[in-house]
Amino acid sequence: MPKKIRILSLDGGGIRGIISCVILKYIEEQLQKLDHPDAKLGDYFDLVAGSSTGGILAALVLYPDNSKRSKFSVETALDLYAKKGDTIFNVSFWNQVLNPFGLFNEKISQKSLEKQLSEVFGTLELKDLVKPCLITSYDINSRKAKFFCSHEADSPLENFYVKDVCRATSAAPTYFEPAKIKSLYQQEFTLIDGGVYANNPALCAYAEARKIAFSKELNDPEKIDYPSVNDMIIISIGTGQVLKPYSFKEFENAGKIKWISPLIDILLTANAETVDYLLTKMYETLGPRNQKNYYRIMPDLKNASPEMDDTTRKNIFELIQAGLLYVDENRESLDEIAKKLVKHK
């Protein structure tokens, strides 16, 4: 029987990506029990997609070791977020005074982020990631979506340094400046966070998978080329449910400035919900058996802050606890995912 194509999709959400790491860490631990004690998550997916913080996670799990397998465990990614998050999202005292709430320029300096990305990824190129990936960004100059795909990066026109890809996908408006980066062909792009159109990139991942000859890309004749929805297992992981209510009275005479933060919150949440709705309906057409091959994991934030840049020790603790609670309450489903990933390895 042909092996299904296993797709991992990772939402954006800034420091809330810690929740995704906690859940992925549990899945990786089950893979180690079921298949190999040194199993790495990246070796059990055929395509990994990510937006913003999810794009950085995608690059981390697909980082190659000397044998062209995944180098980093999920715990490594979790350590990066938990230990360096306060550095990446640091806002100086004077910047808070001179630039309250990011109204006059970007809320956070990009220098810390760029330094950390450079330290982690160095001169690693997109084409060298161990599996096909799709990392989202948006070109504000040409006004169109920009997808970074490792399986299309053999040409210098489509190849980039991974540190630049991560800088582009995480350039969230009002948080970081746009990323001005160049391909290895020296073509310049001005890019912002892919979350502006695909904070949940699962549907983009599905569309990309449809055009990939996986048997060739993965050097595995048992993998299906140009798969249909019936041939895919999609695991889509969110960074915490944000459902803050907004009343009519609060916004009946609101101007542009008052709408900025709520509008960003609403657009990101609605985007993710719409993608989940569409994929759920697509898988429902397959019947009771195969519709179970789509998993949308969206934990409750519980006591954690919905803010993408809250890197206080208390909030990082609460994000970890929110992820652990989801794991505790959904072990059966997560164990099922791990078994399917091994079965179709």
Active site residues: 52, 193
Torsion of CA 315, 318, 323, 329, to 10 degrees: -160
Which has the closest alpha carbon to 299: 322, 278, 267, 280? Answer: 322
Which residue's entry shows tokens 């079921």? Answer: 34
The tally of CA atoms less than 13 A away on the side-chain side of residue 58 is 38
Q: Which residues are paired to 137 by β-bridges? A: 146, 193
Token pair, residue 205, equals 């991942």
Question: Could you tell me if 50 and 57 are in contact, meaning their C-beta atoms sit under 8 angstroms apart?
Answer: yes
* C-alpha distances out from residue 185 to 103, 145, 168, 226, 229, Å: 36, 19, 17, 28, 35
d(CA 113, CA 91): 12
Helix-, strand-, coil-residue percentages of the chain, each rounded to 5: 50, 15, 35
Question: Could you tell me if 39 and 28 are in contact, meaning their C-beta atoms sit under 8 angstroms apart?
Answer: yes
Which has the closest alpha carbon to 311: 119, 115, 103, 112? Answer: 112
Token pair, residue 218, equals 């993965």
For helices 313-329 and 17-34, the axis angle rounded to 10 degrees is 40
User: Which residues are CB-contacts of 256 (< 8 A; sequence separation ≥ 6)?
Assistant: none
d(CA 317, CA 322): 9
Token pair, residue 282, equals 């697509």
